[in-house]
Structure 1
Amino acid sequence: MDLRIFTEPQQGATYDDLLRVARAAEDFGYDAFFRSDHYLAMNVDGSPGPTDAWITLAGLARETSTIRLGTLVTSATFRYPGPLAISVAQVDAMSSGRVELGLGAGWYAEEHAANAIPFPPVGERFDRFEDTLAIVTGMWGTPEGESFSYEGRHFSVTDSPALPKPVQSPPPIIIGGMGKKRTPELAARYAHEFNLPFADTDSAATQFERVRSACADSGRDADSMIFSNALVLCCGRDDAELARRAGVIGREVDELRANGAAGTPAEIVDKLGTYAELGATRFYLQTLDLTDIDHLELVASEVMRQLSR
């Protein structure tokens, strides 16, 4: 079972903050360091301001050595497909093959308006998302010396040299969300991993089954898909430590216990186990207080240790 650290830098973090957490996560044995790809904070002022996801990951690629790196998730509205394929391939090379691309259709209208990014209706966003998946994977998968062309609804490619190539063949793509039809279909076609963020076990069971059905319909073995969940993390050795950490992130303990990976290490192990019974083998632990490195060490020494038995 993989445990990954998942951060939300738009809420207020510098590159140095992220580097400190990424290095700690690597030292403590977490499988990966992921970050959201957002340009606007939610419910806070976000000071000192957002950092760009792929610029950040490029820096971390050179300042870490073993931990995997990725986005959960990059919005297809943020970048044209060709430049996105180039950026991710370059960061993959900079990391010696440790990058993963979480990709979605985009949902946060306010951040688009605040940064001069067009925000089309949801149907068009999914069309652009599908074109982006086809182009990124097509460019990476085209043999060297050959060219790539594609005719899409919104994006088309003519005789691209499809360079550079990533180190991985290809970098894993993560798709997620609760969409009932197109999301499972696109995951079955393009994703290495299907991720469900902040969902209860009933919702996770339903959506995982939709993805498995979509895999079967497309002729894909559902066992080739990694299923994962993202849950807010709040761990304490006792009630006092748990309450302190919940207060720092502005959450109630009871709500966190109900909806997140929260409680004592033993409680968190049990909570993750309920999702594992549904098929999840990977967890993204949303870490909201980036100053609390002891929190990461506690989870690594107590939760990770129990899960590895």
Structure 2
Amino acid sequence: MQLRIFTEPQQGATYDTLLRVATATEELGFDAFFRSDHYLKMGDISGLPGPTDAWVTLAALARETDRIRLGTLMTAATFRLPGPLAISVAQVDEMSGGRVEFGFGTGWFEAEHTAYGIPFPPLGERFERLEEQLEILTGLWRTPAEETYSFDGRHYALTGSPALPKPARPGGPPVIIGGAGPVRTPRLAARYAAEFNLPFPRPEDVAPAFERVAAACAEIGRTEPMTYSVAQVVCCGRDEAELRRRADAIGRKVDELRENGLAGTPDELVDKIGKFAGTGCERVYLQVLDLSDLDHLELLAAEVLPQV
């Protein structure tokens, strides 16, 4: 089981804060540092000093880390045009030596769109745009050198693109698609994704979602393996007092976190991760909400990571 650190910087974090967390992620032995791609805070917090751009952040971290994978859960298809996005992701992949993984979704948070003047079409159109962008992004990355790429869709058209720059890895970064949708999401994952991620499920809800993706893969005759993962809010303490202190710091209740997240003592976390493993899950993204608490990461690395 791989454990990855997953952050939500729109809740209030500078680049320096993210660098400290990413550096700790690498030094402590976690597999990857991921961040959300959001432009507006959520909930009753200040959000100061304001959002940081996901791909600007990852470009900088690409030069300041050596081993960990770097990526987004999830970049919104509404935020950027597919051609410029392909350039940005390819460049960061090259800057990192091929360590980028590309989480991509429809976009869902309407308030951040209206706050920053980003169009927010209805869900059906967002899925249409997501699918066209996936076709364009992977098409640009996979176009052989010295050939051009063209695409004529309902929402986007490219003519004679040089399809440059190329990512560090042939074919481009692994694509991650996630969500609990029963039809369109599994279909897109089967066609485009190297990894399917289920956000914040209970263990009993995981197997049916994974099975839908596996069925979609079988339907199109896919033979390439799919990696299956989940994301979970994490809150760990050596005892109840430490656990409660960490839950209070993120504005959550211990009982609720135990029910809906990955919370408790290290042994409790190991037990619940084992339940996810039993569903076929191979990676857990640990959503760390208090980015000032590096002792939390140290505890997870010392007493959870070695057991999984």
Instruction: Give the alignment's TM-score, normalised by structure 2.
Output: 0.98
- Alpha-carbon distance in 2 for matches of 1:260, 1:168: 34
- Aligned match of 2:207: 205
- Aligned match of 1:152: 153
Q: CA RMSD in A?
A: 0.8
- Equivalent positions of 1:157-306 (< 5 A) are 157-169=158-170, 170-221=172-223, 224-306=225-307
The count of residues paired between Structure 1 and Structure 2 equals 306
Q: Which amino acid aligns with 1:218?
A: I
- Alpha-carbon distance in 1 for matches of 2:204, 2:78: 30
Q: Which amino acid aligns with 1:290?
A: L
- Alpha-carbon distance in 2 for matches of 1:9, 1:97: 23
- Alpha-carbon distance in 2 for matches of 1:153, 1:274: 43
Please list the CA deviations of residues 5-63 of structure 1 after superposition, one character each: whole Å capped at 9, or x if unmatched: 00000000000000000000000000000000000000122111000000000010111
- Alpha-carbon distance in 1 for matches of 2:50, 2:237: 29
- Alpha-carbon distance in 1 for matches of 2:204, 2:131: 28
- Once the two structures are TM-superposed, the CA of residue 197 in structure 1 deviates from its matched residue by 0.7
- Once the two structures are TM-superposed, the CA of residue 242 in structure 1 deviates from its matched residue by 0.6
The sequence identity of aligned pairs, in percent, is 66
- Once the two structures are TM-superposed, the CA of residue 152 in structure 1 deviates from its matched residue by 1.5
Please list the CA deviations of residues 86-105 of structure 1 after superposition, one character each: whole Å capped at 9, or x if unmatched: 00000011111111110001
- Alpha-carbon distance in 2 for matches of 1:131, 1:203: 29
Does residue 1:111 correspond to 2:112, yes or no?
yes
- Aligned match of 1:135: 136
- Aligned match of 2:47: 46
Does residue 1:7 correspond to 2:7, yes or no?
yes
**SS across alignment from 1:232:** strand
- Alpha-carbon distance in 2 for matches of 1:275, 1:295: 22
**SS across alignment from 1:72:** strand
- Aligned match of 1:70: 71
**SS across alignment from 1:210:** helix
- Aligned match of 1:28: 28
5+ unaligned residues in a row in structure 2: which ranges? none
- Once the two structures are TM-superposed, the CA of residue 201 in structure 1 deviates from its matched residue by 2.0
Q: Which amino acid aligns with 2:217?
A: C
5+ unaligned residues in a row in structure 1: which ranges? none
- Alpha-carbon distance in 1 for matches of 2:76, 2:59: 18
- Once the two structures are TM-superposed, the CA of residue 203 in structure 1 deviates from its matched residue by 2.3
- Aligned match of 1:126: 127
**SS across alignment from 2:125:** helix
Please list the CA deviations of residues 109-155 of structure 1 after superposition, one character each: whole Å capped at 9, or x if unmatched: 00000000000000000000001000000000000010111122211
Q: Which amino acid aligns with 2:13?
A: A
- Alpha-carbon distance in 2 for matches of 1:151, 1:182: 21
- Alpha-carbon distance in 2 for matches of 1:202, 1:137: 33
